[in-house]
A and B are shown apart, each in its own frame.
Chain A
Amino acid sequence: MDNLLELKNVTKIYEGGVLANHNISFSVREGEIHALVGENGAGKSTLMKILYGMESITSGQIFLRGKEVKFSSSKDAIAHGIGMVHQHFMLVDSFTGAENLMLGYSGARFFSNKKADIEETNAVAKKYGFVIDARRRVRDMGVSMKQKLEIMKILYRGSKIIILDEPTAVLTPQETEELFERLIELKKSGMTIIFISHKLNEVKRISDRITVLKSGKTMGTYNTADISEEDISNLMVGRVISFEYDKTPLVSGKELLRTEHLKYKDMFGVIKLNDLSLSLHEKEIVGIAGVEGNGQNELVEIITANLRALSGKVFYKGEDITDKSIGDVRRRGIASIPEDRMFNGCAGNMSISENIIAADISTFEDKNKLLNKNRIKNYSKELIKKFEVKTKDENQMIKSLSGGNIQKAIVAREFSTSSDLLILNQPTRGIDIGSISFIHHKILEMRDAGKGILLVSSDLNELIALADRILVMYKGRIVASMDNKTKVNEQELGLYMLGIKDQGEAV
């Protein structure tokens, strides 16, 4: 088999001097499923963006069918028959499936014909064996259907190479299985698929060859059949990852947080929280599992007062805090880590120390409302040391740190206030394994110190490793409450996340 796509010594340096890819060379053969694995932050997504023309390369060459190509935008890549499904879907929410499929398609008519478009969409879906509703608006579609629509978009534009960036991250085990069947069929029909993931069992199951990336470099390309999961894992991180922690058995204490019958509808009228009640105690980690978009974010935002519930109440230590402001809620003792650290977790252009003091500014004020420089400096230095933030000094711009170190600084800020309740929304998303295990240990430390923790995560391993109790959210409801003292079964969680099983009103 010939090399269809070949990269030679590709280096990418981002603005701010971040070296994302360093002398990467690898090749993809026609008609194979080529997996690209590596930890978060190893440079997989950057590499794919380069292939899709979204990022320019600093140095190196790309060959397609033996000829050197230069992509200045994704339009060029599409013209060369390369398509990509992004981690975050690139669909217009208010358009229907058919409209999204036709959008930007070069062969589309000037005036759109709704009926013909829907027929066309259905024909494409039938051809490739996808089940989608062409009339439904994207915002009303489930994640899995959106993903299928994305793949169809690529196929419809005649692409021969499909790049999938962590397609299974948002899917349940059952949906993943269905996706894999489709991908294998596509491969049989002559498509070349580049599959990015950090889930080794999936990679092992579906790919023909594997290229391993570690901190921006290739660790080699292997035939999937010749390499075991342990070997891949060793190549990826240099050691075997295990989220096995020695958790001290604790009896949970007083009730800290209680929500009663929370309801919320988003701007499109979709019900995000449907009569949700839960309670959380001291010395307890409550994990929230669920496919993304089933109301987890809304729940967190309502508890932290970033969002107002349509109805229902939130109580903290017995006090009604439903209508309190964000600052009031924080002052009462609820600290939180947001899902997206660059959006509202930090101020990228300010220094680490200015970011670290943000949660509790009043403690650094003198009598005359001036900030005490020395106290800030000592406090920042102490936290940087205690939370192992790798940095030159406390005055460095936080933006210039790696994702893991930014997250550690944010964790340092939120864990060092006198708060008794910590709300963590995806606290380890997209960071390196060393930082993940460091943050996990800190979370357990907080639990031992008597704090209550609400942990929302899409990483089931993380939830199973840390939580005392796991609640599964589906369509704004808690459909299952599982004791995690003996480890919960991942497959069973999946059934609840999909809504196939439901513990009903008993929860």
Chain B
Amino acid sequence: MNEQKKFDIMNYFSAIRILIAIVISLLLVFVIIFFVSDQPVYAIFKMMVGPLQTKRGLFNVLERATPLIFTALALNVSLRSGVFNIGVDGSFYMGAVIASAFALQVNMPNVIHQIVLITAAGIIGGLINTLPIMIGKYTKIDPTVLAIMFNSIFYFVGLAYVSAFLLQKGGSWGSYYFPDSARLGNLIRGTSMHWGFVIMLFTIVFVIVLMEKSSFGYKVRLTGANPNFAKYVGIKTVLVVIGAQFIGGFIGGMGGAIEMVGMYKRFQWQSQVSYVWDGLLVHMLANENPFFIPITAIFIAYLRVGAEIMSRSARLDPEIVAFLQGIVILLVASERFLYTFKKRHEQKLSLQQAKKAEEKAALEGGNSI
């Protein structure tokens, strides 16, 4: 029993692993900045401290984090059922399109208008995210491939819909301006913080309760951990997986709608807006635990904003952060990173145990099992 209380660094292995991955990639980025910049120290300073220097920078980080959090939460629900379905991207984009359509084509009183358009975006997003699994089941095509294909399809479907029905003639490409009854009001004056932030907080709590406390979440995790076992104990795994995809897609669609009517005055996403890879990074850095998703999302958003501030003040390409993200994903996703460290530790422990057992056996005089 005493052993239990003893501090064991291996209990925190996955957290330490992620931290080390982040530190390594940050260092690499610093090295690159030293090579390409005339004023490297200033650039690094701006990148790391810049977002904290102004109120605007701070809120920028939170704004940036909001869509990341929605996407990561959506992925958390759908990926933990054991399928690699990234159809959430299509849900997010179409969520924004549906929200714009409801904002411009339906007249409703304030509050109800927002509720209806977000719900509609959620439902459509949910349905979109179940498509790769449903079609995959009957055609035996890999759901990941289907999801990527559908993301592309829904981007063009959305674009076509906006071009055909919502486009404002003249001026730059974009829809008509949203009516006030459709937009999410401002939360804090002088920033672009909107009520979507509050919805996001509720969504975080919802996903934590759903995945970690509810019996549905347990079934999703069980199915993800071993589908054969889940089937064997009588769980209807197909329904569980599809249910998880729908909920994930719902959150994604909602995220798209909230981003659109919260941050923008009109639909202007003419190029494919993709949050799924960033969301995946956030989900992975959070160690698949929804509780940590807000923290890792804010961290990624912080790096993004920092890089932009750096590029403005030190004239460096902000895409350097993409490089950083790439390294982090590579390290976190690769099983063998720090594997020998863990292996050696395990070997040492088991040899110690064997020695202890031997001593114990010697004390007791041998022949007992």
Q: What is the CA–CA distance of A392 and B232 in the complex, to the nearest angstrom?
A: 27
Report yes or no: A348 in contact with B225, Cβ–Cβ below 8 A.
yes
Residue total for A at the interface (Cβ-Cβ under 8 A)? 45
Contact of A239 among B4, B349, B353, B369 (CB under 8 A): B369
What 0/1 readout, one digit per residue, does chain A (346-376) give for beta carbons within 8 Å of chain B?
1111100010001101101100011101000
Report yes or no: B215 in contact with A369, Cβ–Cβ below 8 A.
yes
Report yes or no: B347 in contact with A13, Cβ–Cβ below 8 A.
yes
Q: What is the CA–CA distance of A434 and B368 in the complex, to the nearest angstrom?
A: 11
Q: What is the CA–CA distance of A219 and B127 in the complex, to the nearest angstrom?
A: 63
Beyond A13-B343, A239-B369, A347-B222, list 12 extra A-B contacts (CB 8 Å).
Answer: A17-B347, A238-B366, A326-B232, A330-B233, A330-B234, A348-B225, A350-B222, A358-B222, A358-B233, A370-B214, A371-B213, A371-B214
Which residues in B have their C-beta under 8 angstroms from that of A361? 215, 218-219, 235
Report yes or no: A238 in contact with B234, Cβ–Cβ below 8 A.
no
Report yes or no: A327 in contact with B215, Cβ–Cβ below 8 A.
no
Contact of B369 among A392, A393, A434 (CB under 8 A): A434
What 0/1 readout, one digit per residue, does chain A (10-24) give for beta carbons within 8 Å of chain B?
010101111100100
Report yes or no: B343 in contact with A345, Cβ–Cβ below 8 A.
no
Given known pairs A238-B368, A348-B225, A361-B218, the reply for A13 and B213 (CB within 8 Å) is: no
Report yes or no: A306 in contact with B232, Cβ–Cβ below 8 A.
yes
Closest chain B CB from A13 CB (angstroms):
4
Q: What is the CA–CA distance of A349 and B3 in the complex, to the nearest angstrom?
A: 22
B229 in the interface (beta carbon within 8 A)? yes
A residues sitting closer than 8 Å to B (CB atoms) are 11, 13, 15-19, 22, 58, 216, 237-239, 306, 325-331, 338, 343-350, 354, 358-359, 361-362, 364-365, 369-371, 373, 392-393, 433-434
Contact of B213 among A58, A370, A392, A433 (CB under 8 A): A370
Closest chain B residue to A368, Cβ basis: B214
Report, as a range, how many residues of chain B touch the other chain.
20 to 34
Closest chain A CB from B295 CB (angstroms):
23
Q: What is the CA–CA distance of A216 and B350 in the complex, to the nearest angstrom?
A: 12
Given known pairs A326-B234, A327-B236, A370-B214, the reply for A347 and B225 (CB within 8 Å) is: yes
Closest chain B CB from A130 CB (angstroms):
37
Closest chain A CB from B6 CB (angstroms):
12
Q: What is the CA–CA distance of A359 and B233 in the complex, to the nearest angstrom?
A: 5
The listed residue with most A CB atoms (<10 A of its CB), out of B216, B226, B347, is B226
Report yes or no: A331 in contact with B232, Cβ–Cβ below 8 A.
no
Report yes or no: A17 in contact with B218, Cβ–Cβ below 8 A.
no
Q: What is the CA–CA distance of A393 and B5 in the complex, to the nearest angstrom?
A: 12
Which residues in A have their C-beta under 8 angstroms from that of B315? none
Which residues in B have their C-beta under 8 angstroms from that of A216? 354
Q: What is the CA–CA distance of A343 and B228 in the complex, to the nearest angstrom?
A: 7
Which residues in B have their C-beta under 8 angstroms from that of A346? 226, 229
A/B interface sample: 30 pairs, CB < 8 A:
A13-B351, A15-B343, A17-B347, A19-B353, A19-B354, A58-B347, A238-B366, A238-B368, A306-B232, A325-B236, A327-B235, A329-B234, A331-B234, A343-B228, A344-B226, A345-B229, A345-B232, A347-B225, A349-B226, A350-B221, A350-B225, A358-B229, A358-B230, A359-B233, A361-B218, A365-B215, A369-B215, A371-B218, A392-B3, A433-B369
